[in-house]
Structure 1
Amino acid sequence: MPERLVVHLNREHPRDVEPEAAVLETDRSFVLEFVNHGGPIHVHLQLDDGLATVATPAANQVYVEADQRRGVEVSIPPDHPPAKGYVELSTGYGAEKARVNVAVTDERKDGGPDVAVDESLAEKADVEDDQSPRLTDVARPVVAAAGLVAVAVVVALAVSDSLAVLVGGAAFLACLAVAAYLLA
């Protein structure tokens, strides 16, 4: 998960740009999260040459609406070399500027892979679900109910002279035979 650096906008005065930290040391992509405390504002991001060799911002121009938040990811590939540089943030056509010095290290700060894996992941989980019904427990009542319906269909066929009842009953008995075959 990318690291985050909050940058406050319009907090002290209009077009004010104020990062919560002046220095960021990271070994992966990071997000500049702009928090706007006033009216709508445009922020321009510019990476110096040293940082631009390993990092790419998702956008160079960012519009943040009044009293809103907006994040911009600065991507760094996993196989990056170490680098140092800065991100310059400017508002008001360059009238207000702030700089965040960034050191990109080649080794993980936590010393592990990108995704932490617990040792228990390799163990096979023995899940016994005694609550789930077995097929035979479900099939017996279904077969009994289908048998009762089949008897009702046979009685209806014997009593009725209607061709529709005869065809429907025959179709039902055929479906019942197919279901019994598939369950067996």
Structure 2
Amino acid sequence: MQQVHINRLGVNSIEFESDVLEIPLSPGGENSFEIVIINYGSPTHVHLSASDGLHDNLTFLEDNPYVSHEEYVPVIARIPFDGRLLNKGKIFVTVGYGSKTESFTVKIGMADPEDGPVPIEIDERLSSPAPVISGKDSYEKGRQISDMFPGISEAFMRTVNSRNLVFVFAVIIILSLIYLAIRFVSGADIEVGFEIDFYTSLAFTILFTSLVAYLLIKLPIFNNE
């Protein structure tokens, strides 16, 4: 039911109790409702009409009632079997012999699911926070990469240690001393490609072997594990 108040705020004023009137119907269904017209002024004729979208859905049993105080106007709403599920339009109320017209919205039927908003499927994985790579995870990944070459890394660590470094430096120093001694004995003009006889070579070999043996026996770094 819809209430229409005329002449309450002034001459030919029109007010509606509700701006939207909804009438639920299925195709092939029919229902009736009433428009109650309440007049607060002088008796007058009130004209009722429907918009083009509701011509086939509404029938006013009296479209031009004479209202002295209060009148009930029956209206029949229907949807044909082959009609639309939802029909929307307006009912116009005219007073003052056409001088003033107002309208309210009418919805007949039920919403078509196909006309509704299309649901959007959201991947539930998007609601999960992105994985954070911590320092520990980075270390583990680096360790995995290094494990791909275990033989190389282990051999390198076994080779490069303090004992081997000291040994290499000792050999370099000994060879440097031998070279300087040869230059001192033979003279400053000796070339790098000089020739040494058998006895001189034997003496240098004995001296070098003695120095290496001394390092292996006396130096603590070669005795402690």
Alignment of 1:18-167 (within 5 A): 18-27=15-24, 28-65=31-68, 68-77=69-78, 81=83, 82-106=86-110
Amino acid of the structure 1 residue aligned with 2:87: A
SS in 2 for 1:98: strand
Distance in 1 separating the partners of 2:35 and 2:63: 12
Aligned position for 1:6: 3
Which residues of structure 2 form unaligned runs of 5+? Answer: 25-30, 112-225
Give yes or no for contact 1:88–1:99 (8 Å, CA) kept in 2: yes
State the 1:58 CA deviation: 0.8
Amino acid of the structure 2 residue aligned with 1:86: K
Residues 23/58 of structure 1: CA separation in 2 closer, same or farther (3 Å cut):
same
For the pair shown, which has the larger CA radius of gyration, 1 or 2? 2
Give the total of aligned pairs: 102
Give yes or no for contact 1:10–1:36 (8 Å, CA) kept in 2: yes
Between structures 1 and 2, the one with greater strand share:
1
Distance in 2 separating the partners of 1:97 and 1:61: 14
State the 1:79 CA deviation: 5.6
Amino acid of the structure 2 residue aligned with 1:96: K
Which residues of structure 1 form unaligned runs of 5+? Answer: 108-184
Distance in 2 separating the partners of 1:6 and 1:70: 10
Give yes or no for contact 2:79–2:109 (8 Å, CA) kept in 1: no
Amino acid of the structure 1 residue aligned with 2:70: R
| Bigger mean CA deviation after superposition, 30-39 or 74-83 | 74-83
Between structures 1 and 2, the one with greater helix share:
2
State the 1:33 CA deviation: 0.2
Aligned identity (percent) is 31
Root-mean-square deviation over aligned CA pairs: 1.8
SS in 2 for 1:50: helix
SS in 2 for 1:38: coil
What TM-score comes out, normalization by structure 2 length?
A: 0.42
Aligned position for 1:165: none
For residues 37-89 of structure 1, give each alpha carbon's deviation from its aligned partner in whole angstroms, at most 9, with x where no partner exists.
Answer: 11101111111111111110111211101xx2101111023766431111110
What TM-score comes out, normalization by structure 1 length?
A: 0.51
Answer 1 or 2: higher relative contact order, Cα 8 Å, separation at least 6.
1
Amino acid of the structure 2 residue aligned with 1:73: P
| Bigger mean CA deviation after superposition, 70-79 or 36-45 | 70-79
